[in-house]
């Protein structure tokens, strides 16, 4: 009744204005409804309610991968959270992951940089944090095609062999005593990585101290990257660097840059002296310097690219691989019958009086099953590296805004009881079953993708797999392993960018080969 009364008591021009306004409101409202029901504004994925400003931050639990898996039980295969002002999307099932990493691969082929990352990229010249585009494509080609191709991988056996022999000799010296197994694994992988990257340049006594420091600095970088940072969650205050993350990062970087400069200067001198004489095994640095020197007209590699790539591969390849190897050994020690089976295989293929070579690996399916089981239960990067869409996207019928941080919970999927029988149990033999045996390691099936999938999948997969399997096989071929009396092994995790063991893995090596001198350096 109010409206007609209003019209009655007003003059005609006022009436016209009111009627017009009324019409505008109605049209706007109808337009809104049409838009809402149409394609333009799909809803965001469901998710737990948060508080103003801080969002869901106060409710986070420290083990993000487990916390996300728990929430997924309520909110389903795709959900949203707000961490500070940052909108985060978590994917929890193979079918939504396929939509992102396969069907819309190009849109999502960017890694979401966390605060402090810009400092370690030599001015945005590295591969991991480059957005999808021409520079990333060039760097990816250098890594995968020019460096980690089959020829170079095979040639790189020499580097791995030397380091594994060295470690085995160090372990012989410790036989019968409890050792920190993880420390030996890390040392072996670190040395293998650095010699694969820049050869023996860091050798000698001075080299050993530098290497130890280098290894520590690498660990610190991975730690820093894995810490949730306030600047990340509230980008508005990022310039203040309240946590000093950027300051710490800068310090770590200046250390790297010094080392790289030394290595590069030395190498350029050596190459000059050798007058381009062909070396037998080329390390990554040789390949990079040749490209920098214009050996491939399609590739314009600056010195910043060279340094940034060295750093990326050193950071990306060391902790991930050594952590996976340590988890594999831990799982085996928890379940001694797996050690027995692995050793039976090794003894029948390699024998007790022969040295183990990489050429044996294709004949060791049980060891391969062990490696895969470790990658399934303990994928080094439990949430991959967060992806970010370059344009607004639609996933599973929900709206994903440009700039949202997309976590992919590979850890949860690889333990999902709907795809895996006894999902939490370490069972290398599951890889011989007809259903799982077909799953490859490259992520063509989204039930198992420890290295990611698609364009942004791990660039070092082939090298990682070789390092992991040769070390595992060598450790169990050369030694029996037992736990110190009265100790009990656990599988407790410590969350970070790379999920490591909370407590060190301590075990006792006892030689088991007839001719240990085979491994004498």
Among 289, 370, 459, 499, binds ligand NAG (CB under 6 A): 289
- Judged by CB under 6 A, the stretch of 1-9, 148-156, 207-215, 306-314 that binds ligand NAG is 148-156
Quickly tell me which residue has 């060279």 as its tokens: 306
Q: Which is nearer to ligand NAG, 87 or 289 (CB)?
A: 289
Is residue 134 within 8 Å of residue 391, measured between CB atoms?
no
Q: What is each CA distance from 335 to 309, 325, 483, 517, in whole angstroms?
A: 39, 16, 12, 30
Calpha distance 73→496 (Å, rounded): 23
How far apart are alpha carbons 274 and 167 in whole angstroms?
Answer: 32
Of 229 and 325, which CB lies nearer to ligand NAG in the complex structure?
Answer: 229
CB-wise, 229 or 409, nearer to ligand NAG?
229
Query: Is 359 near ligand NAG (CB under 6 A)?
Result: no
Residue 200 CB, nearest approach to ligand NAG (Å): 17
Quote the least distance from Cβ 164 to ligand NAG, whole Å: 23
For tokens 């990816």, name the residue: 140
Q: How far is the CB of 249 from ligand NAG (least distance, A)?
A: 9
CA distance 492 to 166: 30
Choice between 120 and 143, CB closer to ligand HEM = 143
Residues lying near ligand HEM in the complex (CB under 6 A) are found at 111, 127-128, 140, 143, 312-313, 316-317, 320-321, 324, 379-381, 384-385, 450-452, 456-460, 463-464, 468
DSSP labels, 32-61:
HHHHHHSSS-PPPPP----BTTTBTGGG--
Instruction: From 142-150, 319-327, 387-395, 471-479, give the range in contact with ligand NAG by CB under 6 A.
Output: 142-150
Residues near 104 by beta carbon (within 8 Å), at least 6 away in sequence: 389, 393, 395
Q: Report the partner that residue 482 touches, choosing among ligand HEM, ligand NAG, none (CB closer than 5 to 8 A by kind).
A: none
Contact of residue 150 among ligand NAG, ligand HEM, none (CB under 5-8 Å per partner type): ligand NAG
When binding is defined by CB under 6 A, the residue of 99, 105, 126, 146 that contacts ligand NAG is 146
Q: Does 482 bind ligand NAG (CB under 6 A)?
A: no
- The sign of the CA dihedral 289, 292, 293, 296 is positive
Q: Which residues, at least 6 apart from 89, have a Cβ–Cβ distance to it below 8 Å?
A: 45, 78, 79, 80, 395, 400, 404, 405, 406, 407
Site for ligand NAG in 156-195 (CB under 6 A): none
* Residue 458 interaction partner, one of ligand HEM, ligand NAG, none, beta carbon < 5-8 Å per kind: ligand HEM
Integer Rg of the chain from CA: 27
């Amino acid at each position: 009744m109010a409206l007609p009364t209003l019209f009655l008591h007003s003059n005609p021009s006022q009436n016209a204005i009111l009627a017009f306004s009324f019409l505008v409101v109605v049209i706007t409202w109808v337009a809104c409804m049409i838009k809402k029901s149409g394609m333009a504004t799909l809803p965001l994925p469901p998710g737990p309610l948060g508080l103003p400003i801080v969002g869901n931050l106060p409710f986070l639990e420290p083990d993000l991968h487990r916390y996300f898996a728990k929430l997924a039980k309520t909110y389903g295969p795709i959900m949203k959270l707000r961490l500070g002002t940052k909108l985060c999307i978590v994917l929890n099932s193979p079918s939504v992951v396929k939509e992102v990493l396969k069907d819309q691969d190009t849109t999502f082929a960017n890694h979401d940089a966390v605060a402090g990352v810009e400092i370690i990229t030599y001015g945005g010249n590295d591969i991991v944090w480059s957005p999808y585009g021409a520079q990333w494509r060039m760097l990816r080609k250098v890594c995968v095609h020019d460096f980690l191709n089959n020829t170079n991988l095979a040639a790189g056996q020499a580097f791995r062999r030397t380091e594994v022999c060295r470690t085995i000799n160090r372990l012989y010296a410790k036989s019968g005593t409890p050792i920190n197994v993880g420390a030996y694994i890390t040392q072996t992988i670190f040395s293998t990585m650095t010699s694969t990257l820049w050869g023996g340049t860091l050798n000698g006594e001075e080299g050993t101290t530098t290497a130890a420091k280098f290894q520590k600095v690498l660990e610190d970088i991975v730690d820093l990257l894995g810490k949730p940072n306030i600047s990340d969650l509230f980008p508005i205050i990022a310039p203040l660097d309240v946590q000093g993350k950027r300051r710490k990062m800068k310090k770590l970087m200046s250390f790297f840059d010094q080392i790289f400069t030394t290595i590069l200067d030395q190498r350029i001198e050596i190459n000059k002296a050798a007058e381009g004489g062909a070396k037998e095994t080329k390390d990554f640095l040789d390949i990079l310097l040749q490209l920098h020197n214009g050996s491939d007209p399609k590739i314009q590699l600056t010195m910043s690219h060279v340094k940034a790539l060295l750093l990326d591969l050193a950071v990306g390849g060391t902790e991930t691989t050594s952590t996976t190897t340590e988890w594999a050994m831990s799982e085996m020690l928890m379940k001694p019958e797996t050690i027995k089976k692995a050793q039976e295989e090794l003894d029948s293929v390699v024998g007790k009086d022969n040295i183990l070579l990489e050429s044996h690996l294709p004949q060791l399916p049980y060891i391969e099953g062990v490696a895969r089981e470790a990658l399934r239960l303990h994928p080094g990067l439990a949430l991959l590296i967060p992806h970010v869409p370059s344009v607004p996207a639609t996933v599973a019928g929900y709206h994903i805004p440009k700039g949202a941080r997309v976590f992919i919970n590979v850890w949860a999927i690889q333990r999902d009881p709907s795809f895996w029988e006894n999902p939490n149990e370490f069972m290398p033999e599951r890889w011989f079953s007809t259903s799982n045996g077909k799953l490859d390691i490259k992520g063509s099936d989204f039930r198992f993708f420890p290295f990611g999938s698609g364009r942004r999948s791990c660039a070092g997969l082939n090298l990682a797999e070789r390092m992991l399997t040769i070390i595992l096989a060598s450790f169990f071929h050369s030694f029996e392993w037992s736990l110190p009396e009265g100790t009990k092994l656990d599988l407790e995790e410590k969350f970070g960018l790379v999920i490591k063991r909370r407590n060190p893995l301590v075990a006792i090596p006892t030689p088991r080969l007839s001719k240990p001198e085979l491994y004498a350096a």
